[in-house]
């Protein structure tokens, strides 16, 4: 069964659009109003809009980000200054306006937004119902919408790790026959770029499996390379993105800050390592450890252009991300062609081979930076094998 792969758009979404149109990477886009103003989205062609979805991004309702303010239905805008109690009287108006925008543009499906909570709110469900779920379902019924309806579900790793809390939320979602699927976003406050906690990863996989088992479609948003593991769950839709804030969910991007942030170091995606490594270290491996390079690198014109440049690319060099899109799409295409059990075997081989490649690089010797090392491989292998034993064998 084909695996649906969507571009998680952020800053410089034109890279995603180019990749989709020119390189045939991905099946559509998830558009981000915090990064794309309404006039920008208005200019997109029907080929993009009809294959894509619009994430209303009500996560931080009082966000002062300028592009969010171009949408009249955003809570801060429609309220003239967001207040939790006052918004309850405007929620239906906001829902009708947001729904109308999605229908007018003819997006692929309708998204019901949700608010983000960092803490395990005891009344999480009740707050989401008042804030968006009930108003949007009312607006949807009024319009007689025929498109798929997805509910946005922003959680934290702590919520997923708490079995009773997680189960209550999953039971709540399945109580709505009008809802066809879930747009799942999980904030994991970790120091590493890749997930290294096998217990969290097991709960993450279990949550998606339980939602699918209940008959709901699941779109896992803001995925990093761990998206490959979710392909074990038949019908699960996954995402890929350019900058790190599109590959790891947080609400930081919705907060206005005067703090200057130093740009990250340029990294290159290496499919044979299932990771991004610092560009200069990639060059070292290419120039000095050819036998391993042939196993970890998959050539694209974008990466080759970077290597041929007289200056090392900066982190915002588009070719680095277009290289990733092509490589990741190729990995997904390989998995799309086989059964669940065969996907497991392929992923297991990928992880074991990556483990060996990391070992040879270290033995060469080259010490990769802490984010480029293979510290995620063993937890992923453990989670992969556990999931297969628990649900697929």
Percent of the chain past pLDDT 90, that is, above it, reads 95
Q: What dihedral do alpha carbons 184, 318, 4, 217 form, nearest 10°?
A: 10
Which of these, 256, 199, 196, 254, lies nearest to 226 by C-alpha position?
Answer: 196
All structural domains of the chain, each given as residue ranges with its CATH number in brackets, are 5-254 (3.20.20), 267-392 (no CATH)
- Whether 35 and 71 have beta carbons less than 8 Å apart is answered as no
- Average per-residue pLDDT in the chain? 96
Q: Tokens 């979710």, residue?
A: 230
- Whether 57 and 33 have beta carbons less than 8 Å apart is answered as yes
Structure-token pair, residue 116: 């983000």
Structure-token pair, residue 53: 């979805």
Q: In whole angstroms, give the CA distance from residue 105 to residue 107.
A: 6
Taking only the tens place, the pLDDT of each residue in 268-310 is 999 999 999 999 999 999 999 999 999 999 999 999 999 999 8
Q: What is the mean pLDDT of residues 307-321?
A: 95
Q: In whole angstroms, give the CA distance from residue 45 to residue 27.
A: 15
Q: Tokens 């490649």, residue?
A: 357
Q: Tokens 């970077």, residue?
A: 306
pLDDT at 237 over 60: yes
Containing 332, the helix (H) or strand (E) segment is helix 318-336
Q: Is 283 buried (19+), middle (13-18) or exposed (0-12) by CB count in 10 A?
A: middle
Q: Tokens 């170091």, residue?
A: 265
pLDDT at 349 over 70: yes
- Whether 323 and 303 have beta carbons less than 8 Å apart is answered as yes
- Whether 388 and 232 have beta carbons less than 8 Å apart is answered as yes
Q: What is the pLDDT of residue 261?
A: 64
Q: In whole angstroms, give the CA distance from residue 187 to residue 116.
A: 9
368 falls in which pLDDT band (50, 70, 90)?
very high
Which of these, 383, 373, 8, 84, lies nearest to 230 by C-alpha position?
Answer: 383
Taking only the tens place, the pLDDT of each residue in 109-161 is 999 999 999 999 999 999 999 999 999 999 999 999 999 999 999 999 999 99
Q: What is the pLDDT of residue 170?
A: 94
């Amino acid at each position: 069964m084909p695996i649906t792969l969507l571009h998680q758009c952020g800053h410089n979404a034109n890279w995603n659009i180019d990749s989709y149109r020119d390189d045939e990477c991905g099946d559509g886009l998830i558009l981000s109003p915090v990064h794309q103003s309404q006039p920008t989205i208005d200019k997109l062609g029907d080929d993009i809009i009809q294959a894509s979805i619009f994430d209303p991004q009500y996560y931080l309702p009082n966000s002062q980000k300028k592009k969010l303010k171009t949408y009249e239905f955003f809570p801060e805008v429609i309220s003239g200054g967001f207040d939790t109690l006052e918004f309850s009287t405007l929620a239906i108006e906001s829902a009708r306006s947001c729904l109308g925008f999605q229908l007018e543009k003819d997006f692929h499906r309708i998204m019901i937004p949700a608010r983000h909570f960092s803490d395990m709110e005891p009344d999480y469900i009740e707050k989401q119902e008042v804030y968006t779920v009930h108003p949007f379902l009312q607006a949807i019924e009024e319009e007689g919408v025929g498109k798929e309806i997805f509910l946005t579900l922003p959680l934290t790793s702590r919520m997923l790790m708490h079995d009773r809390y997680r189960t209550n939320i999953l039971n709540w979602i399945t109580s709505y026959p009008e809802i066809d699927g879930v747009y799942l976003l999980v904030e994991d406050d970790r120091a590493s770029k890749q997930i290294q906690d096998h217990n969290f990863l097991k709960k993450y996989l279990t949550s998606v499996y339980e939602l699918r088992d209940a008959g709901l479609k699941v779109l896992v948003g803001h995925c990093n390379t761990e998206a490959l593991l979710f392909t074990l769950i038949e019908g699960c839709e996954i995402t890929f993105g350019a900058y790190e804030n599109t590959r790891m969910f947080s609400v930081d991007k919705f907060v206005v800050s005067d703090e200057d942030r130093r740009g990250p170091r340029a990294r290159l995606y290496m499919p044979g390592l299932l990771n991004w490594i610092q560009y200069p270290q990639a060059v070292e491996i290419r120039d000095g450890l050819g036998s391993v390079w042939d196993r970890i690198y998959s050539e694209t014109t974008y990466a080759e252009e970077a290597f041929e440049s007289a200056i090392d690319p900066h982190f915002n060099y588009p070719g680095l991300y277009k290289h990733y899109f092509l490589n990741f799409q190729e990995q997904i295409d390989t998995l799309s062609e086989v059964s669940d059990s065969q996907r497991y075997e392929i992923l297991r081989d990928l992880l074991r081979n990556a483990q060996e490649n990391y070992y040879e690089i270290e033995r060469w010797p080259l010490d990769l930076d802490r984010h480029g090392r293979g510290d995620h491989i063993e937890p992923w292998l453990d989670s992969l094998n556990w999931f297969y034993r628990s649900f697929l064998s």
